[in-house]
Amino acid sequence: MIPRLRYRRRRSRRRGFPVKRLQICVPGSENRSPGPSSTGSESVDDPAPWILEDLAMGRPPPGAAWTWILLLLTWAAWAGRPRAQESKLLEGQECEPHSQPWQTALFQGQQLLCGGVLVGAKWVLTAAHCKKPKYTVRLGDHSLQKKDGPEQEISVARSIPHPCYNSNDSDNHNHDLMLLQLRDRASLGSKVKPISLADHCPQVGQMCTISGWGTVTSPRENFPDTLNCAEIRIFPQKKCEDAYPGQVSDGMLCAGNSNGADTCQGDSGGPLVCDGVLQGITSWGSDPCGWPERPGVYTNICRYLDWIKKTMGSKG
């Protein structure tokens, strides 16, 4: 099974696995992206205790042994369910294999960190909070464990977070966007190909597709082997702001639906695709995931086109 890094945030959750970094914001470096500029280094929350690992090692929490044993038995019964009942993104389903040829996966060694989106032969877009000192990008995957031909793995030459991304405040999700320049060009074809960037903002009510290898249950985390997809709609910005008072800027958009279809932990950096173009990057949302009244929040690509194109052009 592919291991995942597990970090938890207070209040709203980012949907990947954030790490420490230094980020300097240059005021005025992005005319089209909203929100205040900021500087700082990211504070990293300690990994939450992994109860089942403690139990397996004979370390029940003090004064709560029988409670955790019961929890373990309950978990074992749940985990033993048929795979077909589990392999879906929250209220989604397994994607048609290779139907999302722009989907990528960010790995550190054998650990899955986040999703990403191929936007050029040497360029991947992802969430800035997914940044690591060193990682590789996998392309052409459907199953993370079984290979069927188109898979590629390319190391990252350069990570370029948006200059106004504030990594110092875990509750500030502004400018959660990062470009990765690959060391080598991807071999393009029908199962590995870039997606076009939206040249206009999405319409309220527009139907869009989300995809990723993130957890398919929440709050209990259960990660699938195969890529999962779900259909969601763009929310009115006012409804988005009301769902998360004081946390939503014009550089973000919300999307979801009435049955609770949602991205979740591990889906960060993945695509929100509307009418065949990239409109959003999975960023953050409610904890637990899948509340119809508290939709997923995505970095709004149309607000960052100038920065994306300028950065890709200047770096080759």
Ramachandran region, residue 173 (left: φ > 0; alpha: ψ -120 to 50; beta: rest): alpha
One of 129, 142, 162, 173 is an active-site residue; which one? 129
Count Cβ atoms within 10 A of the Cβ of residue 136 and give its class: 0-12 exposed, 13-18 middle, 19 or more buried: middle
- Assess contact for 315 and 120: CB atoms under 8 A: no
Structure tokens at 92: 């989604």
The Cα 243–Cα 294 span in angstroms is 5
Angle of CA points 188, 192, 196, to nearest 5°: 90
User: 316 Cβ partners below 8 Å, 6+ apart?
Assistant: 122
Active-site residue, from 141, 176, 262, 287 = 176
Structure tokens at 148: 């069927």
Q: Let me know if 129 is a catalytic residue.
A: yes
268 given a catalytic annotation: yes
Q: Determine whether 176 is an active site residue.
A: yes
* CA 227 to chain CA centroid, nearest Å: 13
Q: What distance in Å separates the CA atoms of residue 89 and residue 227, rounded to the nearest whole number?
A: 8
Burial 251-279 (b: 16+ CB within 10 A, else e): bbbbbbbeebbbbbbbbbbbbbbbeebbb
85 HSE (CA, 13 A, CB side): 5
Catalytic residue among 167, 170, 211, 268: 268
Q: What are the residue numbers of the active site?
A: 129, 176, 268
